[in-house]
Structure 1
């Protein structure tokens, strides 16, 4: 019998989002590797499912130490089910190392699709999201966060990321400083839960709202940049805003330059404007 690793998405809040395949997998897997065993047991109870296999914890701090035993279980023909607290394993949650380890041993890996905060937030944002990137959690330190935001100044894809509620206000304030107050975004809070809320608006509006304090699990969708050919003089303020956020002048010019304006031309224009 061939073993396999099964990645399974779990509900973000509403247990009604659990798929029949997840219910079956929880009931039949030989091993259930869970980010939080207590939450997984509670989920199984809410689904009226009895977990008959062995349950082991699989969170960030023990992920590497658990790999050999779990890979061995799959190699021995067992079904190992990997679940996290909510959403899809490996997406800013434990999982990718176990997938990589199984792939390296040429073992079977499959996935039970289901709830995802990323795609749910994109769908609810009201923004153009036919092309998007996912960027996990922003850096915690302000300087690093501003550098990260600077890289999004000319990113034409929508960007979706997670943020801790106690850091959201600072993150949005930095985004206003680096990207300007008019870039549109959506802050999605407590997706699929009782107090689900989606706030849509400009970064300036959202920063003002968040300053009062926000609670719950947060997913942010940032509108992609709209780049058009411009007179280099029209781009000087944007370059200087990135520099104030911590970017080097040459890097800022490279980020802001458009198809109609070269990096060199923009760099020389900024220097000339500073002399004036």
Structure 2
């Protein structure tokens, strides 16, 4: 987190009151508030205003959140901060729901970024909705969209912007390697997250993907931010090139497979042959296993081929 003095945000806090103060903030509502992933200046005006006016703030770490609030010049007593983290989220949600039932406005923040995206918050929002209370999201910083916007993903007209969010891969080596093998057959871009003490193991596993490109973002939005695109097989060497390169939190984008179009073409050729002898589901299953082409795409192609055959008949 940047170490800007609280006074630096005095004007921003007043601007938040001026810009967002006249808007409607219903009572009995949970406000899910995105907070900066590193640079404190990335807070939104509406987030500042909501954090100032709510009756209480549920948070992943009360000490971290108290420091964040003080940096913005927001003074909230410790009693107004509610600990809601991955170890107590289901139970703590009941306390939040009880407050909402009394008409209180409650904000929820994780330590950084958007709650519920590889962070606590999903169980809380689900419980609040199930109890019949409103959940109002305040969008903002996210390492997912931050890195995607700088990765320069280029693909076909149909799938160039498509991506899959995989988050953190398994920590055990065997399970992680199996997960990477599955990613090898994913034609879309894949967004991954990793902690500094596991990034070298992650890089070693991804190296099995050979020339497939990976964009790595380290310390995003912070002073020593670093973004680089390399072949997956070169990722371990890139990390080893400097001691600072294994420090900080990481987001990685596995670029769309350059073989996706070839795989799709091979898949359809094999599919045509199999459909001549087998039912659609069986033909699709075997074609996917043989060529590595996506099963959903093959199934759609099989239906089109069947329709074409029916019309020509």
TM-score scaled by length of structure 2 = 0.72
- Given that residues 217 and 252 in structure 2 are in contact (C-alpha distance below 8 angstroms), is that contact kept between their aligned partners in structure 1? yes
Question: Within 2, Cα distance between the matches of 1:95 and 1:183?
Answer: 33
Aligned partner (choices 202, 205, 218) of residue 189 of structure 1: 218
The match for 1:68 is 94
Aligned partner (choices 238, 244, 251) of residue 209 of structure 1: 238
Higher relative contact order (CA 8 A, sep 6+): 1
The match for 2:283 is none
Aligned partner (choices 205, 221, 231) of residue 174 of structure 1: 205
Unaligned 5+ segments in structure 1 are 232-249, 263-276
The match for 1:97 is 123
Residue 208 of structure 1 deviates from its aligned partner by: 1.3
Question: Within 1, Cα distance between the matches of 2:33 and 2:88?
Answer: 19
Question: Within 2, Cα distance between the matches of 1:255 and 1:5?
Answer: 48
The match for 1:107 is 133
The match for 1:127 is 153
TM-score scaled by length of structure 1 = 0.81
Residue 113 of structure 1 deviates from its aligned partner by: 0.6
- Given that residues 149 and 175 in structure 1 are in contact (C-alpha distance below 8 angstroms), is that contact kept between their aligned partners in structure 2? yes
User: Rg bigger for which structure?
Assistant: 2
The match for 1:150 is 181
State the Cα RMSD in Å: 2.4
The match for 1:117 is 143
Aligned partner (choices 209, 215, 223) of residue 255 of structure 2: 223
Higher helix share: 2
Question: Within 1, Cα distance between the matches of 2:225 and 2:149?
Answer: 14
Tell me: CA distance 1:71–1:176, structure 2 relative to 1, closer, same or farther (3 Å): same
Residue 258 of structure 1 deviates from its aligned partner by: 7.0
Question: Within 2, Cα distance between the matches of 1:154 and 1:85?
Answer: 34
Residue 257 of structure 1 deviates from its aligned partner by: 4.3
The match for 2:171 is 140
Tell me: CA distance 1:258–1:156, structure 2 relative to 1, closer, same or farther (3 Å): closer
Residue 211 of structure 1 deviates from its aligned partner by: 3.8
The residue matched to 1:187 in structure 2 has which SS?
strand
Question: Within 2, Cα distance between the matches of 1:2 and 1:25?
Answer: 12
- Given that residues 207 and 235 in structure 2 are in contact (C-alpha distance below 8 angstroms), is that contact kept between their aligned partners in structure 1? no
Question: Within 2, Cα distance between the matches of 1:149 and 1:45?
Answer: 42
- Given that residues 10 and 18 in structure 1 are in contact (C-alpha distance below 8 angstroms), is that contact kept between their aligned partners in structure 2? yes
Question: Within 2, Cα distance between the matches of 1:147 and 1:71?
Answer: 40
Residue 253 of structure 1 deviates from its aligned partner by: 3.2
Residue 170 of structure 1 deviates from its aligned partner by: 1.4
- What pairs with 1:221-260 in structure 2 (closer than 5 Å)? 221-225=253-257, 226-227=259-260, 228=262, 229-230=265-266, 253=289, 256-257=292-293
The residue matched to 1:135 in structure 2 has which SS?
strand
